[in-house]
Amino acid sequence: MDNSLFQGKLVTSRRIIYTPSDFARTNLIHLQEIGSLQALRPHTSQREKLSSYLVFLVLEGSGTLSYQNRGFPLSKGDCVFLDCRKLNSQRS
């Protein structure tokens, strides 16, 4: 299933969302969503208190990751693994 989000001149996104079975959700490491996002201007994506993790790779450009009230510069080639169960995690 292809679900487009944030379509426009400044941000484009393509993603596939998967809903795992109850067994997989409670007993296995499982994939919930996969996709890509391209932002031509600053973009913020926020996650809070989700029972999941977020992994992403910066293919081009740069930005700043705000996680647990700290800022981390990001640039091409950086790979990030976030625990979304923590508070105050966002990237821009």
Average pLDDT for runs of 10 along the chain of length 92: 51 86 86 84 74 86 85 94 66 52
Give Cα separations from 72 to 4, 5, 15, 30, 63 (angstroms): 28, 25, 25, 27, 9
Amino acid 76: pLDDT: 95
Helix (H) or strand (E) holding 25: helix 22-27
Amino acid 72: pLDDT: 93
Q: Is the pTM of this model over 0.75?
A: no
Amino acid 58: pLDDT: 92
Nearby residues of 71 by Cβ (< 8 Å), 6 or more positions away: 64, 65
Amino acid 78: pLDDT: 96
